[in-house]
């Protein structure tokens, strides 16, 4: 039996033995050298240590777009002033009069110097980091030495958030041992806090899988130190996730029949649930949780859509019953889509928006927990997010079947794989901003292609010349020359084709993030089976980190695996 299938535990117990060193705390602040100064209103001003440290957070970000945003500046200045001495508060009253440029330059130079270190110096730094990793980066869990994911506490700094987050620029405080709850085995060696400190609390809770936790001060959410994705515990959890999605495959037709019936229900609440479920199933929307206003960026999911987020078009671009979605989803990524829906869905939506203001909820009688309770009744372990995993994985499998040509070379097969992966990323709306280096690297590739084209044209000329010569002389030497020239031409044409594939792939991929779905939504066994079946090395699909995370799948899946 493989280590993935060893020893299931009962009653919510996740482990019997857990021993670790506790988190690694980031080093304390080192004051700036005397000659690196902060200026206020054009005059140098010596800051107290705490105030100086926070000033460096802002200084480091001077060339970042964040520091140009008013909300970031206001939040930063407000939090910074709270940490100042009364004398400093008296003087520093206007952010515009603060000059951080000298501090900024100091950190830029320091960074450059680190990059320019000789090889042996870099090696020494790497060895120091490895030593910390060895000491703090592993734990003993049920007799196995397992790697820990994030064993360091997050350094203090300014909160960034994603999208237009209302709290950006606020001060993220330093995590101290006094903030940290330790979780370990009752009979293990309890980790020692750093000298002169003590832990907030030590727990022995074997129904959870975290090793340490603390509350971060900005969102007031709990942060955890967890095991690395490659660990047995995480691998099992990952595998279970895809097994639940595979079970959905057997009942999904029943669920679809049910929600279609509910579109005509006498209860408006059931109709809303049925339409939301249709969106979650058909469009792979996230369910969307209820959240506090003003606490987070204004982002929504399916259940929290407002009337202003959709427009209904009886006719549009030659299609009927078109719903036009436009809203900010998770991480403030815009979701924009025009979808032709079934007539009953359209009629229900017209009913749901009737007599409502733009800011009213579209599904005013629906909560995510009401939806999930219903799904749990339909299938054990089913929640809205399982649909996303299921639809992503099934799409990858179907697209791979449709797109892969067994006759293609590896480059051709990889293009097909990436296209299948892109179909999933588009379904899940995984976007990225076009990389800054995109135009440059595309131009370099295009220049290579142009040069290769020229070589092909020259080779074609050569073949023609050789053929003419053979026509004239009919001798064996001339015939061999024709073959030689043809061979060269074929090789150059193959190289050109490969480059063209690369360019196509790059262009199609510039605004799409493939990694998110690969890591979180696609059953890795589908990819492993595809690689085995078509003779593509697994390294061409999964990088080292992904191969570690998906060790369970590489272990388990043969070429005949069906999701």
The model carries a pTM of 0.76
Superfamily of domain 38-120: Yeast DNA topoisomerase - domain 1 (1.10.10.41)
Report, at the CATH architecture level, how domain 234-382 is classified. Alpha-Beta Complex (3.90)
pLDDT at 5: 55
Query: What 3-state class would DSSP assign to 535?
Result: coil
The label of the residue with tokens 């520093």 reads 92
CATH assignment, 18-26+124-230: 2.170.11.10
Q: Do domains 234-382 and 392-556 have the same CATH topology?
A: no
User: How are beta strands 171-172 and 157-158 bridged, if at all?
Assistant: antiparallel
Listed in sequence order, the residues at least 6 apart from 368 whose beta carbon sits closer than 8 Å to its beta carbon are: 287, 288, 289, 290, 301, 303, 304, 384
Dihedral angle over CA of 128, 131, 133, 137, nearest 10:
-150
Using a 10 angstrom Cβ sphere, with 0-12 exposed, 13-18 middle and 19 or more buried, the burial of residue 243 is exposed
Query: Which tokens belong to 414?
Result: 């990889």
Listed in sequence order, the residues at least 6 apart from 441 whose beta carbon sits closer than 8 Å to its beta carbon are: 506
Task: Enter the DSSP assignment of 24.
Answer: B
Query: Which tokens belong to 329?
Result: 């989803």
pLDDT at 169: 94
The label of the residue with tokens 């975290």 reads 210
Distance in angstroms (rounded) separating the CA atoms of residues 229 and 550: 8
Distance in angstroms (rounded) separating the CA atoms of residues 255 and 311: 27
Query: What 3-state class would DSSP assign to 98?
Result: strand
Distance in angstroms (rounded) separating the CA atoms of residues 218 and 212: 19
Distance in angstroms (rounded) separating the CA atoms of residues 55 and 301: 37
| Domain positions in the chain | 18-26+124-230, 38-120, 234-382, 392-556
- Backbone φ and ψ for 276, nearest 5 degrees, come out as -60, -40
- Average pLDDT, 10 consecutive residues per value, the chain (563 residues): 56 87 93 94 94 96 91 96 95 94 95 92 93 94 90 93 84 95 93 94 92 91 88 86 93 94 94 94 86 69 93 91 91 87 94 93 91 92 92 93 89 90 88 82 92 92 87 83 89 90 86 84 94 92 90 87 90
pLDDT at 292: 60
Query: What 3-state class would DSSP assign to 76?
Result: helix
Distance in angstroms (rounded) separating the CA atoms of residues 62 and 172: 18
Distance in angstroms (rounded) separating the CA atoms of residues 438 and 511: 10
User: How are beta strands 334-340 and 319-328 bridged, if at all?
Assistant: antiparallel
Query: What 3-state class would DSSP assign to 144?
Result: strand
Distance in angstroms (rounded) separating the CA atoms of residues 475 and 489: 22
- Terminal CA-to-CA distance of the chain, rounded, Å? 22
pLDDT at 290: 67
- C-beta neighbour count of 415 within 10 angstroms: 19
Positive/negative CA dihedral, 546, 551, 553, 558: positive
Task: Count the helix, strand and coil residues of the chain and give each as a percent rounded to the nearest 5.
Answer: 50, 10, 35
- Catalytic residue selected from 106, 259, 390, 521: 521
Query: Which tokens belong to 478?
Result: 């001339």
Q: What 3 state SS string does 421-481 have?
A: HHHHHHHCCCECCCCCCHHHHHHHHHHHHHHHHHHHHHHHHHHHHHHHHHHHHCCHHHHHH
* Domain 392-556 CATH assignment equals 1.10.1740.10: no
Distance in angstroms (rounded) separating the CA atoms of residues 536 and 336: 35
Q: What angle (nearest 5°) sits at the alpha carbon of residue 246, between those of residues 245 and 249?
A: 95
Query: Which tokens belong to 183?
Result: 């979780």
What is the H or E stretch that residue 214 is in? strand 212-215
The DSSP secondary structure of 332-378, one letter per residue, reads G-EEEEEEE--HHHHHHHHHHHTT--TTSBTTTT--HHHHHHHHHHH
Query: What 3-state class would DSSP assign to 320?
Result: strand
CA distances, 371 to each of 50, 261, 463 (Å): 48, 16, 69
Query: What 3-state class would DSSP assign to 225?
Result: strand
Q: How far is CA 472 from its chain centroid?
A: 65
- Backbone φ and ψ for 322, nearest 5 degrees, come out as -95, 130
Query: Which tokens belong to 288?
Result: 């969307």
Q: What angle (nearest 5°) sits at the alpha carbon of residue 452, between those of residues 446 and 455?
A: 150
Please say if 521 is a catalytic residue. Answer: yes
Task: Enter the DSSP assignment of 212.
Answer: E
Length of the chain: 563
């Amino acid at each position: 039996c493989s280590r993935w299938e060893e020893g299931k535990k009962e009653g919510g117990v996740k482990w019997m033995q857990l021993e670790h060193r506790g988190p690694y705390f980031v080093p304390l602040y080192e004051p700036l050298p005397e000659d690196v100064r902060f200026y206020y209103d054009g005059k140098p001003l010596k800051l107290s240590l705490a105030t100086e440290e926070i000033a460096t957070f802002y200084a480091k970000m001077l060339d970042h777009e964040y520091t140009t945003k008013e909300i970031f500046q206001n939040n930063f200045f407000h939090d910074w002033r709270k940490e100042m001495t009364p004398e400093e508060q008296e003087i520093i009253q206007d952010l515009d009069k603060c000059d951080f440029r000298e501090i900024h330059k100091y950190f830029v130079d320091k960074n450059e110097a680190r990059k320019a270190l000789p090889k042996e110096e870099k090696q020494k730094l790497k060895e120091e980091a490895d030593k910390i990793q060895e000491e703090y980066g592993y734990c003993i869990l049920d007799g196995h030495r397992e790697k820990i994911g994030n064993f360091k506490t997050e350094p203090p700094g300014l909160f960034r958030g994603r999208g237009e987050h209302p709290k950006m620029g606020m001060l993220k405080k330093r995590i101290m041992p006094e903030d940290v709850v330790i979780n370990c085995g009752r009979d293990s060696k309890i980790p020692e806090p750093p000298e002169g400190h003590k832990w907030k609390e030590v727990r022995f809770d074997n129904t959870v899988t975290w090793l340490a936790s603390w509350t971060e001060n900005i969102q007031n959410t709990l942060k955890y130190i967890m095991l690395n994705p490659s660990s047995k515990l995480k691998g099992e959890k990952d595998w279970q996730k895809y097994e639940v999605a595979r079970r959905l495959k057997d009942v999904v037709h029943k669920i679809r029949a049910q929600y279609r019936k509910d579109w005509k229900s006498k209860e408006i609440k059931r109709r809303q649930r049925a339409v939301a479920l249709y969106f979650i199933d058909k469009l792979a929307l996230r369910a969307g949780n209820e959240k506090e206003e003003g606490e987070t960026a204004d982002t929504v999911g399916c259940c929290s859509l407002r009337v202003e987020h959709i427009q209904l078009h009886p006719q549009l671009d030659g299609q009927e019953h078109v719903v036009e979605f436009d809203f900010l989803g998770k991480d403030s990524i815009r979701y924009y889509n025009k979808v032709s829906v079934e007539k009953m869905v359209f009629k229900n939506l017209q009913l749901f928006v009737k007599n409502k203001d733009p800011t009213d909820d579209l599904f005013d009688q629906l909560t995510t927990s009401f939806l999930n309770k219903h799904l749990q009744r339909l299938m054990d372990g089913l929640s809205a997010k399982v649909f996303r995993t299921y639809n992503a994985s099934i799409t990858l499998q179907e697209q791979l079947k449709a797109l892969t040509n067994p006759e293609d070379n590896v480059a051709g097969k990889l293009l097909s794989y990436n296209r299948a992966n892109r179909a999933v990323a588009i379904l899940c709306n995984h976007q990225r901003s076009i990389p800054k280096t995109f135009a440059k690297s595309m131009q370099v590739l295009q220049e290579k292609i142009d040069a290769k084209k020229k070589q092909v044209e020259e080779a074609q000329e050569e073949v023609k010349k050789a053929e003419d010569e053979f026509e004239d002389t009919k001798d064996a030497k001339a015939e061999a020359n024709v073959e030689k020239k043809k061979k060269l031409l074929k090789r150059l044409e193959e190289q050109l084709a490969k480059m063209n594939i690369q360019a196509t792939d790059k262009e199609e991929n510039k605004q799409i993030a493939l990694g998110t779905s690969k890591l979180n939504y696609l059953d890795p066994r589908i990819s492993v089976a595809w690689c085995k079946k078509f003779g593509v090395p697994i390294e061409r699909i999964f990088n080292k980190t992904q191969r570690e995370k998906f060790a369970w799948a590489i272990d388990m899946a043969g070429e005949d695996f069906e999701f």
